[in-house]
Amino acid sequence: MVEGSREKEIRSLAASAAERGSRKQKREGEVRISVAMVTYNGEAYLREQMESILNQLGERDELVISDDGSTDHTLGMIREYQAGDPRIRFFSGPGRGIKKNVEHALTQTRGAYIFLADQDDIWLPGKTAKILEAFEKSEAMVAVHDARVFEGEDPADIVMESFYQFRNSGAGVWKNLVKNSYIGCCMAFRRELKDLILPIPNQIEMHDQWIGILGDYVSGKSCFLPEPLLLYRRHGDNNSSMKHYGIGKMLRNRLVFFSCFFVRIVHFRQKRNGFLGNFKKNNG
């Protein structure tokens, strides 16, 4: 009789574990928004950025952070937030630079919509809601919004009212092959695009142009929202530059990018039916 009770207890525990596992899988399958943030020695501005993001995320959302070997207080800040917020998922980056760290963060995302985030900007209220609304109204793979640019510590110190105007931003494969107008911190994309953009080629300059143009290619044109939904911080440690390269480097970058793009779309065409089937299934 004791033995029978013990067996019943074991079965009960096993059933409970299976139920918890099932609930976990369901939650992972129902993640709505994944914010992919990469960090490296970002203690100066990280707290302000994390607050602006977390304030806009719901229970079905997540903030995925990949840190590439910070030696300041960045990790302590992340752990502090993570201890009180289950939506934060932290990973150690590959230690191979920002492009591969972005790739690493993206591989960990589980959401239907993936937002890119830098460690030093500030999301303006309503950003996630307006991006999701844009996706609901179009079949675009990528949505992009405008940004105001400010210098240093004070978000009120606006030096540029429209990043769109500076970049002459707009959708289209050929337009953005000639002159890139995508900026990662202002972008979000559907999870179906992940299989196409990953891995990010080592040879290309940055990831934002890669994601944007492949999104243009798959769905016609990306969705460009005219409203500034982010304060884009400029300071001495930015990874991206506001300056243009010399003509030689620009030509080389374009040739390298086009060759990588061509190889990837050949691969896409071989799997096009499966890709479109998944998109219709997830968004039907």
pLDDT at position 280 is: 60
pLDDT at position 251 is: 87
Q: Above 70 in pLDDT, residue 6? A: no
Q: Above 70 in pLDDT, residue 5? A: no
Question: Can you tell me the distance from the alpha carbon of 103 to that of 136, in angstroms, rounded to the nearest whole number?
Answer: 26
User: Within 13 Å of residue 204, how many CA atoms lie on the same side as its CB?
Assistant: 26
Within 8 A by CB and 6+ apart from 112, the residues are 31, 32, 33, 190, 191, 282
Question: Can you tell me the distance from the alpha carbon of 166 to that of 146, in angstroms, rounded to the nearest whole number?
Answer: 10
pLDDT above 90 coverage of the chain, percent: 73
Q: Above 50 in pLDDT, residue 21? A: no
SS3 of residue 34 by DSSP? strand
Question: Can you tell me the distance from the alpha carbon of 41 to that of 120, in angstroms, rounded to the nearest whole number?
Answer: 11
Mean pLDDT of 57-65: 98
Question: Can you tell me the distance from the alpha carbon of 38 to that of 101, in angstroms, rounded to the nearest whole number?
Answer: 6
Q: Choose between 36 and 23: higher pLDDT.
A: 36
pLDDT at position 14 is: 44
Phi, psi of 175 (to 5 degrees): -55, -45
pLDDT at position 237 is: 58
Q: Is residue 247 very low, low, confident or very high in pLDDT (cuts 50, 70, 90)?
A: confident
* pLDDT per position as a tens digit, 84-139: 999 999 999 999 999 999 999 999 999 999 999 999 999 999 999 999 999 999 99
Question: Can you tell me the distance from the alpha carbon of 163 to that of 138, in angstroms, rounded to the nearest whole number?
Answer: 23
Q: pTM for the complete prediction?
A: 0.84
pLDDT at position 284 is: 61
Question: Can you tell me the distance from the alpha carbon of 186 to that of 192, in angstroms, rounded to the nearest whole number?
Answer: 19
Question: Can you tell me the distance from the alpha carbon of 11 to that of 185, in angstroms, rounded to the nearest whole number?
Answer: 49
Q: How confident is the prediction for the chain on average, in pLDDT?
A: 87
Q: Which residue has the tokens 């409970």?
A: 16
2-6, 57-61, 77-81: least confidently modelled range: 2-6
pLDDT at position 240 is: 54
CB-CB contact of 220 with 272 (8 Å): no
- Of 181, 61, 194, the closest CA to residue 132 belongs to 61
Q: Above 80 in pLDDT, residue 29? A: no
Question: Can you tell me the distance from the alpha carbon of 43 to that of 230, in angstroms, rounded to the nearest whole number?
Answer: 19
- Of 116, 121, 67, the closest CA to residue 94 belongs to 67
Question: Can you tell me the distance from the alpha carbon of 261 to that of 254, in angstroms, rounded to the nearest whole number?
Answer: 10
* pLDDT per position as a tens digit, 166-178: 999 999 999 999 8
- In order, the DSSP letters of 90-127 are EEE--SS-HHHHHHHHHHH---SEEEEE-SS-EEPTTH
Q: Above 80 in pLDDT, residue 202? A: yes
Within 8 A by CB and 6+ apart from 222, the residues are 140, 141, 142, 143, 144, 171, 212, 215, 216
Q: Above 50 in pLDDT, residue 1? A: no
Q: Above 50 in pLDDT, residue 18? A: no
Q: Is residue 267 very low, low, confident or very high in pLDDT (cuts 50, 70, 90)?
A: confident
Q: Above 50 in pLDDT, residue 185? A: yes
- Of 129, 275, 113, the closest CA to residue 190 belongs to 113
Q: Above 50 in pLDDT, residue 45? A: yes
Phi, psi of 220 (to 5 degrees): 100, -80
